[in-house]
Chains A and B, each alone.
Chain A
């Protein structure tokens, strides 16, 4: 890695969001290829994930690293929208993700989104508090490979069953893999709801997403 790549990686790893943004913009101005910058950004957040596995990083570190990743990618995306071709844009690994109705929690979803992006998935975040119909409409419109559904309360998690049922009724279920996650969910609930996979946490979600893509 070049010095600036190292600096970008370090800024993302250490959760320095402003520095990560500025460094990426500087690197782009210097003519460094977008793909090279993206690799440095992804490398930073991937290392954060490794440190999480080793109990060196905690959720506070992960969330700061995720924010820095988001800001760094924003810098690159802004540049891409100005004309450069999308070297960072993944193909054939589209995930549409959202949180069920009545549920506003965003933290876990943000980390899942970032870790998926860091692993070359295209992630379309629908947001939170989404009615069942939104999930169905977006599956129709965006044709994702994977639909990720999150919930964080035992009362709202029951919505997941409704969404999967509606996918079946709408004839959409066979065309999309469904992965669920969130604090109250379990493998047992995923099975009961008819999901294809359960992500125990963000890193597990990435592994499961890769498996789903391989098996499709």
Chain B
């Protein structure tokens, strides 16, 4: 069975984008969260990659095309922009994404909250870079999608996780004030600017700090769910659909794995949605855990004839360490479990910077082979040939030969 690549094996970013946006995919789509990996693969210094929007989006588009993925995800970061713009202490390094220095929270004492104000989204920190990344994405055929840090993770970033937990227990009124500030004075104005400047109508967030077991189900219900709902309702009035993927279950120890906790996290995700139920399992070692317990959750929808969207993440540790045949078999297992009666996409989660390209190619090829539509009744009978491609630099040179203007003066 074909992996869907052309004979030259050198589809340009534009060709890739056209194919993807034209919805001509004959297979289950694969996307990836991979900025650090792209930076490393393209050999771009962090201080260019995470500051220059055109360099970032161009490199992301090229590597997305190199891997033959089915969509460009232009988000450079979903945790740090807003806090950096409010004056949060950051760590800037030569080879990594700028990150909040959690040791020195911007809100050291509760009264510090009163000193914070809505950022200038066009001037403060790297917010203009963030906006330009979203805007430029459309030029490269990417997803025109807004980004924001979910309320709980932003609170953890502003206050530090230990202090926030203590606040939740000892200073509930302050904690409510903090969440209200985050929504009313930061996130809603930020989404408004994304709508006005970039034209987004949908925005996605990340919320790793709210993952189970970082929080208990009780804490999620008390501190995460109500504020996510409030944000979503206010964003809707702006004309923006805000997606919060909170309460993901991330358990590393098989002996601790608890289906009840997994489903409680799904309950929270679904409660935040108004249309097709959609559940995400981006994090965690799903290569070693049973996928049937995810299916068990969607059974109630299937019985009612409601299609559920499931986005399963391929574990970054598996992507990095391999082996390639386990990556392929994990993708196959995901497709075999969900693809026939769910809307699914294969998501390569937070691809580590030094992941061997062969592993990413294997994941994509497996999704395109086992996920070829209509899905075969018996995937064991589908022949999978590991995909081999030249290095990124060789591939880029090949594209440059085909379209010499494409890579001229281009840092990636």
Chain A residues at the B interface, C-beta cutoff of 8 Å: 15, 53, 55, 58-61, 63-64, 67, 101-107, 110, 128-129, 153-158, 184, 186, 188-189, 200-201
- In the complex, the answer to whether A154 meets B36 with C-beta atoms within 8 Å is yes
- In the complex, the answer to whether B36 meets A102 with C-beta atoms within 8 Å is no
A60 to B163, CA, bound (A): 10
A155 to B354, CA, bound (A): 8
Contact flag A154-B101 (CB < 8 Å), given A55-B256, A60-B219, A107-B161: no
User: Digit string of B294-329 for contact with A (CB within 8 Å is 1, else 0)?
Assistant: 000000000000000000000011001100000000
The residue in chain A whose Cβ has the minimal distance to the Cβ of B165 is: A60
Q: Which residues on the A side are within 8 Å of B101 (C-beta)?
A: 104
Q: Which residues on the A side are within 8 Å of B320 (C-beta)?
A: 154, 184, 186, 188-189
* Interface assignment of B166: CB less than 8 Å from any CB of chain A: yes
User: Interface size on B (CB < 8 Å)?
Assistant: 37
- In the complex, the answer to whether A104 meets B91 with C-beta atoms within 8 Å is yes
Contact flag A58-B102 (CB < 8 Å), given A155-B97, A156-B96, A184-B316: no
- In the complex, the answer to whether B162 meets A107 with C-beta atoms within 8 Å is yes
Q: Which residues on the B side are within 8 Å of A55 (C-beta)?
A: 213, 256, 258, 261
- In the complex, the answer to whether A186 meets B317 with C-beta atoms within 8 Å is yes
* Interface assignment of B125: CB less than 8 Å from any CB of chain A: no
- In the complex, the answer to whether A154 meets B316 with C-beta atoms within 8 Å is yes
* Interface assignment of B350: CB less than 8 Å from any CB of chain A: yes
User: Digit string of B214-225 for contact with A (CB within 8 Å is 1, else 0)?
Assistant: 111001000000
A129 to B90, CA, bound (A): 12
| Chain A to chain B contacts (Cβ below 8 Å), 14 pairs | A53-B256, A58-B215, A59-B214, A63-B161, A104-B102, A104-B103, A106-B103, A153-B36, A154-B36, A154-B352, A154-B353, A184-B317, A200-B253, A201-B252
Q: Which residues on the B side are within 8 Å of A15 (C-beta)?
A: 169
The residue in chain B whose Cβ has the minimal distance to the Cβ of A102 is: B93
Identify A60's interface contact among B100, B215, B256, CB under 8 A.
B215
* Interface assignment of B95: CB less than 8 Å from any CB of chain A: yes
Given contacts A104-B101, A186-B321, 16 further A-B contacts (CB under 8 A): A15-B169, A53-B256, A58-B212, A58-B214, A61-B216, A64-B169, A104-B99, A104-B102, A105-B102, A153-B99, A154-B36, A155-B93, A155-B96, A158-B353, A158-B354, A200-B252
A155 to B252, CA, bound (A): 21
- In the complex, the answer to whether A128 meets B253 with C-beta atoms within 8 Å is no
A63 to B219, CA, bound (A): 14
Q: Which residues on the A side are within 8 Å of B353 (C-beta)?
A: 154-155, 158
A186 to B316, CA, bound (A): 10
Contact flag A67-B162 (CB < 8 Å), given A104-B99, A154-B353: yes
A52 to B320, CA, bound (A): 28
Q: Which residues on the A side are within 8 Å of B316 (C-beta)?
A: 154, 184
A60 to B101, CA, bound (A): 20
Q: How far is the CB of A192 from chain B (nearest CB, A)?
A: 8
The residue in chain A whose Cβ has the minimal distance to the Cβ of B321 is: A188
A15 to B169, CA, bound (A): 10
- In the complex, the answer to whether A128 meets B103 with C-beta atoms within 8 Å is yes
- In the complex, the answer to whether B36 meets A155 with C-beta atoms within 8 Å is yes
- In the complex, the answer to whether B354 meets A154 with C-beta atoms within 8 Å is yes
User: Digit string of B142-172 for contact with A (CB within 8 Å is 1, else 0)?
Assistant: 0000000000000000000110011011000
Q: Which residues on the A side are within 8 Å of B96 (C-beta)?
A: 102, 153, 155-156
Contact flag A102-B91 (CB < 8 Å), given A59-B214, A60-B215, A158-B354: yes
A201 to B320, CA, bound (A): 19
A101 to B213, CA, bound (A): 27
A60 to B169, CA, bound (A): 10
Q: How far is the CB of B144 from chain A (nearest CB, A)?
A: 28
Q: How far is the CB of A199 from chain B (nearest CB, A)?
A: 11
- In the complex, the answer to whether B95 meets A102 with C-beta atoms within 8 Å is yes
Q: Which residues on the B side are within 8 Å of A58 (C-beta)?
A: 212-216, 219
A157 to B100, CA, bound (A): 17
User: Digit string of B35-48 for contact with A (CB within 8 Å is 1, else 0)?
Assistant: 01000100000000
Q: Which residues on the A side are within 8 Å of B166 (C-beta)?
A: 64, 67
Q: Which of A110, A155, A157 has the most CB of B within 10 A?
A: A155
Q: Which residues on the A side are within 8 Å of B352 (C-beta)?
A: 154, 157, 184
A78 to B194, CA, bound (A): 53
Q: Which residues on the A side are within 8 Å of B317 (C-beta)?
A: 184, 186, 188
A105 to B79, CA, bound (A): 14
A105 to B208, CA, bound (A): 14
Identify B350's interface contact among A106, A154, A186, CB under 8 A.
A154
Q: Which residues on the B side are within 8 Å of A106 (C-beta)?
A: 102-103
Q: Which residues on the A side are within 8 Å of B165 (C-beta)?
A: 60, 63-64
User: Digit string of B230-252 for contact with A (CB within 8 Å is 1, else 0)?
Assistant: 00000000000000000000001
User: Digit string of B312-356 for contact with A (CB within 8 Å is 1, else 0)?
Assistant: 000011001100000000000000000000000000001011100
Closest 8 pairs between A and B when the two form their complex, measured CB to CB: A154-B352, A155-B96, A188-B321, A102-B93, A58-B216, A59-B214, A58-B213, A60-B165
- In the complex, the answer to whether A59 meets B213 with C-beta atoms within 8 Å is yes
